[in-house]
Amino acid sequence: MSGLKDVYESAREIGKAMGLTLKTLATEKPITVEYPDQPMAVYPRFRGRHELRRYENGMERCIGCCLCEAACPTGAIYVEAEENDPDNPISPGERHAKVYEVNLLRCIFCGDCERACPTEAIVLGHYIDLASYDRRDFILTKEDLLNPPEPNTIIRPAG
Ligand code: SF4
Ligand code: SF4
């Protein structure tokens, strides 16, 4: 008798679960998207591909101080600074970054570089399409960083 009861209980539970599944299928929209055909929304604090920002007058914000390089826990940033030509300065400071590279294969997207930067020059945006078959594509040069595929200047609140 107890065997029959168990079978009945199991069938009832399966029926309940199937009912819930069918109800959810009929009433709720899917939470997945057909990426990459359909863009994927990310949270405002999401940290994606790096960008180097400029001021509104076109000057580069980066002053070549190397604080981001020092703050990076994985050694993913390489900066080579150069004195500005007073007649044709590239940044408002005494120096600018002659070379600026980010190695995305080392980066863990922690945001420490962004937090260390005194001029909000380096930021992590929302661009996430980082896949490539060529390892060289994962070294972002200064030109790549100054011209991101989807420019947006996300500045996260401190803390
Ligand atoms: S996000 Fe973190 S790991 Fe990546 S470059 Fe910046 S400091 Fe380095
Ligand atoms: S990005 Fe910011 S922290 Fe890094 S070298 Fe330039 S000014 Fe300094």
Structure confidence by residue, pLDDT tens digits, 21-80:
999 999 998 888 898 898 888 888 899 999 999 999 999 999 999 999 999 999 999 999
Question: Is 70 exceeded by the pLDDT of residue 159?
Answer: no
Pocket residue to mutate for ligand 1, from 108, 120, 128, most atoms within 8 A of Cβ: 108
- CB-CB contact of 50 with 140 (8 Å): yes
Atom of ligand 2 nearest to the CA of 81: 5
**CA 74 to ligand 1 centroid distance, Å:** 7
Tell me the pTM: 0.81
For 19, other C-beta atoms within 10 Å of its C-beta total 10
Q: Cα separation of 109 and 123, whole Å?
A: 11
Q: Which residues line ligand 1 (CB under 6 A)?
A: 71-74, 76-77, 102, 107-113
- CB-CB contact of 63 with 91 (8 Å): yes
Q: Using CA atoms in the order 128, 132, 135, 139, what is the torsion angle rounded to 10 degrees?
A: -30
- CB-CB contact of 78 with 69 (8 Å): yes
Summarize the confidence of residues 137-159 as an average pLDDT: 84
